[in-house]
Structure 1
Amino acid sequence: MTTLLSRIFRALEKFHASHPWDHNAHYHRRILRQLPRRFNSALDVGSGSGDLARLLASRAGAVHGIDVDPTIVARARELTAPAAPVTFTVGDALNDIPPGPYDVITCVATIHHLPFSDALTRFRQHLTPGGTLVVIGLYRPHSRSDYLIDAIAIPSNVAMAWIKNKGRKPPRPTSMTAPTRPATMTFADIVRDARHALPGARLRRRLFWRYTLVWHQR
C-alpha cells in the first residue's frame, strides 16, 4: 500500500505543478469558525504571505504575523494595506514571538518544522485567559484509518484543483513557495503529546493531509 501511495503522490505532484492551489488557505474559513466574532489581538505563527493574518484582521483590533523567511515577510508587507491593523516580523516561532498575550494564536502548516511539545507550551504561555489556539498541521500516515482518509483525499484533491483552475492558469500561490519538509509525527503521536501539553485539546484528522487542533486557555 505504501509503494502504491508513493506512486500516486508522485503523480499528484506532477498534476499540481500545472494545477496549483493552496491547501492551507482551504482551512482559513474553518479557523474563523473556531474564533469569536471580535477579539483584541491575534498572532499568526508561520504567517507566510499574510493571507490568514489579513483575514484575522477583519475581526481583531491588532494582528501580528511572524515567519522565519525574510523574503516571504517582505512579500506579506507588500500585500497588506498600510491602514490594516497587521504587522509582520521576521523571527523564530519559539524565541522571537512579540510580547503578548494574545486572544488568538493560529499556526498553519508550520508546527511540524518545530519541536512539537515545546511549540505548544510556548503558544500556551502567550495566550490570554480564555484565549484560543488553532493549529492546522501535517501528520505522517501510519494507521489504516490514515491511509483510508488519504485515499478519499486523492480524488477530492484532484477535483478541487480542477475547480480552482478551471478556465485559467493562476500563478503558484505565494504561501506555497517557502521550503517545506514532510511531517515525521504520526497522528497518534500528535494527539498524545498535544493532550499532555494542552489538556482538553480537540484534535481531528482532516482531508488533504491535515489535522486540526483547537484549544481554549482557561
Structure 2
Amino acid sequence: MTTLTVRFFQALDRFHAARPWDHNAHYHRWIMRQLPRRFASALDVGSGTGDLARLLAGRAASVRGLDADPEIVDRARELTPSASRVTFAVGDAPGAIAPGPYDVITCVATLHHLPFAETLAAFRHHLSPGGTLVVVGLARAQSPGDHLLGVAALVMNVVMAWLKHGGRRAARPASMTAATRPATMTFAEIVDEARAVLPGARLRRRLFWRYTLVWHNR
C-alpha cells in the first residue's frame, strides 16, 4: 500500500470518527417494510439499545429483545418507556431464546457472532406458521461483486455521513457501542447454508457491508 493510499484511508477514518452514523439503523425502515402491519409477538435477537425493538412495538402486542451484553441491555431498558410493550433479556442465542412462537423474528448484525446454521434452525423452530424472519448480516468479502459493492459503500458512506452531519462533529450513537467482530463466512457460503435450513429464503447483497435474508414460514 502506497503512502498516498495510507494517508487517504487515515483521512477517511478521521472523517468518519468525527461524523459517525449507525449502518444497522439505516436498514430499520427497510426491515419494517418486510413485515405485516400488525402482528402479535416479535423477537429481536441482538437487540442492543433497543431501537429496532421499540419500532416493532408500534405494530406488535409484545416484543422481546435478547442481547448477550448485560450493560447494553440495561441501557435498552433505560431508553424504553416503562409502559412499553417491550421487554429485554440477557442471554446468548440460540440457547437463550424464550419459547415462542413469534410472528416476527429480527436479527441485525448479530448472526456472524453465533453458530450460523444452528441459530437459523432455532429461528425456524420459534417462528409461528405464517411468520416472518428478517436478518441483516455481515459477510466476508471475497467475490468481485463483493469488492465492487465495497468500493461503492466507501463512497456512499461519506455521502451519508455528510448528509446526516454536514461539517459538524457528532457524538457516537449509543447504538454503536456494542463489541464488533469481523465476519468469517462469505456471501456464497451464507446463501448455501441458509437455503439448506430455510428453503426459499431470499438473500441479497447490500450496501454498507451488509446482506439481507427474508424467510416466510409458510
Deviations 1:97-147 (CA, angstroms, capped at 9, x unpaired): 112110000000000001111110011110000000000000011000111
Whether the 8 Å contact between 2:19 and 2:171 is mirrored in structure 1 is no
Corresponding position of 1:98: 98
Give the fraction of aligned pairs with identical amino acids, expressed as a percent. Answer: 69
The aligned counterpart of 1:60 is 60
Q: How far does the alpha carbon of each residue in 1:50-89 deviate from its partner, in whole angstroms, 9 at most, with x for none? A: 0000000000000000000000000000000111100000
Q: Secondary structure at the match of 1:82?
A: coil
State the distance in 2 between where 1:215 and 1:11 align: 40
In the alignment, which residue of structure 1 is the partner of 2:150?
150
**Counterpart residue number, 2:109:** 109
Q: Hey, what does 1:37 align to over in structure 2?
A: 37
Q: What is residue 125 of structure 2 aligned with on the other side?
A: 125
Instruction: Give the counterpart letter for 1:104 in structure 2.
Output: V
> What letter is aligned with 1:25?
A
Q: Which amino acid aligns with 2:190?
A: I
Alpha-carbon displacement from aligned partner over 1:176-212 (angstroms, at most 9, x marks no partner): 1111110011000000000001000000000000000
- Structure 2 unaligned runs (5+)? none
Give, in whole Å, the separation in 2 of the partners of 1:172 and 1:120. 31
Kindly state the Cα deviation for residue 166 of structure 1 after the two structures are TM-superposed.
2.3
State the distance in 1 between where 2:132 and 2:138 align. 20
Matches of 1:89 and 1:173, distance apart in 2: 22
Give the 3 Å change call, closer, same or farther, for CA 122–7 of structure 1 in structure 2. Answer: farther
Q: TM-score, normalised by structure 2?
A: 0.94
Shift of 1:15: 2.4
Q: Which residue in 1 is equivalent to 2:181?
A: 181
Distance in structure 2 (CA, Å) of the matches to 1:135 and 1:10: 32
Tell me which residue corresponds to 2:81.
Answer: 81
CA distance in structure 2 between the partners assigned to 1:64 and 1:89 by the alignment = 8
Please name the residue that 2:191 is paired with.
Answer: 191
Aligned partners of 2:83, 2:145: CA distance in 1, in Å?
A: 46
CA contact (8 A) 2:39 2:61 kept: yes
Deviation at 1:153, TM superposition (A): 1.1
Read off the aligned partner of 1:199 and give its amino acid letter: P
Q: CA deviation at 1:12?
A: 3.7
Query: Normalising by structure 1, what TM-score?
Result: 0.94
Distance 2:8 2:95 in 1: 39
1:210 partnered with 2:210: yes
Q: Name the structure 2 match of 1:27.
A: 27
Query: C-alpha offsets along residues 139-161 of structure 1, whole Å, 9 cap, x if unaligned?
Result: 01100011111111111110101
Matched residue, 1:201? 201
Deviations 1:17-52 (A, max 9, x none): 111000000000000000000000000000000000
TM-align CA RMSD: 1.8
Residue segments in structure 1 that go unaligned for 5+ positions in a row: none
Partner AA of 2:116 in structure 1: F
Separation in 2 of the partners of 1:143 and 1:40? Answer: 40
Other-structure match for 2:170: 170
C-alpha distance in 2 between matches for 1:116 and 1:142: 18
